[in-house]
A = this chain, B = another copy of it.
Amino acid sequence: MTTIKDIAKVAGVSVTTVSRALNGYSDVNEKTRQKIMAVAKELKYSPNTLARSLVMNKSNTIGLLVSGLTRSSAKDNFTFKILSGVNEYLSNSGYDLVLFSTTSTKQREKTYTELCRERRVDGVIMQGIKTDDPYLIEVVDSDIPCVLIDIPIESDTVGYVTTDNISGAKKAVQHLLELGHKKIAMVNGHEFAFVSKRRLEGFMEAHHEMNVPVNPSWIVSGAFDEDEAERQALKLLTDFPEITAVFCASDLMALGVIKAAKKLKIDIPTQLSIVGYDDILLASYVSPALTTVAQDIYQMGYKSAELLVQMLQGDAVSHIITLENELKMRESTAKNHDC
């Protein structure tokens, strides 16, 4: 493997000059530069970023720490979209991407902070981390520049990107209320996700604004899981047949609710309206096509990377980015026939 030392020898200059020439410094004779460049090319020189990073104390690497990069996460490819977006921005930014992944089941032997420090990443983007994850706090409290996805924590070194989950949920529920539904259930995610809290808030707000009472028994947790949502919905729709609409905190869970409804021979949308959240690919393919709150997850990834790089360069205007969402009306919602 060629080093600048080799180049220096062949070109008959010092390593300093080689370094300067290669890095485009101005204080090097044009002829010398030409010569060095030629030798570098001839020797097929590739700079050793390890050495450079070591001495510059900057790796030009950003970490992407995700949870749920598993076989099963292909259906709801949230993680993939984030990754694509991050990658898209980073590929034009001079930073490389190293991927750290974690699963909620298996506890890591190293903390996220250690992971980042060992690899000397310049910053990290985190997605899918539960809010009760102790390693999360550790990173946030450390001096590692960090962008969180859907976790609203901000500090000097921490920023986040999210969507307006309150308004998203509100739009969904308002839509149902406008269709005449008064008995609306909610299948929420788990308590360790900020989005769940926000979406519940939106659910509440929409009801209050229209002066429609909320029945707490109709709010259940589907743990962001299709099967769990199905089980919960089965129970819910059996116990409370008066329910005419369900708002789900994710499309995946909405899929589960649809299954439950089918099992109970409840027709969608004539007997039961369903609204999801996310607008995953499947949402427009299932039958009936799912009305849902669309968020641009790819864009969230892209913006996260952009924000982090700006933070690293010290020119981030704000550490908070909130993206819009949009209610997509499809076939799973209809007028309430009871009214």
Contact = CB atoms under 8 A, between A and B. Distances in A.
Interface of A: 1, 46-51, 53-54, 59, 61, 69-71, 73-75, 77, 79-81, 83-85, 87-88, 91, 96-101, 113-114, 117-120, 281-282, 285-287, 298
Contacts of A101: 87, 91
A79 B91 CA distance: 17
B83 A69 contact: yes
Contacts of A47: 118
Contacts of A70: 84, 88
A286 B114 CA distance: 45
A74 B69 contact: no
A87 B99 contact: yes
B69 A84 contact: yes
B87 A81 contact: no
| Residue among A59, A69, A298 with max Cβ neighbours from chain B (10 Å) | A69
Contacts of A119: 49, 96
Given A69-B84, A74-B81, A98-B97, A48 B91 contact: no
Contacts of A99: 83, 87, 96-99
A46 B118 contact: yes
Contacts of A48: 54, 118, 120
Contacts of A298: 71, 74
Contacts of A98: 61, 96-99
A120 B119 CA distance: 13
Contacts of A71: 81, 84-85, 88, 298
A108 to B, nearest CB: 9
Contact of A87 (B46, B50, B69): B69
A322 B279 CA distance: 36
Contacts of A97: 98-99
A285 B286 CA distance: 6
17 contacts: A46-B118, A49-B118, A50-B53, A50-B54, A50-B120, A54-B54, A69-B83, A69-B87, A69-B88, A71-B88, A80-B83, A96-B98, A96-B100, A97-B98, A97-B99, A98-B99, A282-B282
A84 B74 contact: yes
A184 B70 CA distance: 38
A281 to B, nearest CB: 6
A281 B75 contact: yes
Contacts of A114: 46
A91 B119 CA distance: 15
Contacts of A84: 69-71, 73-74
Contacts of A75: 281
A87 B49 CA distance: 23
A1 B69 contact: no
A91 B97 CA distance: 16
Contacts of A281: 74-75, 281-282
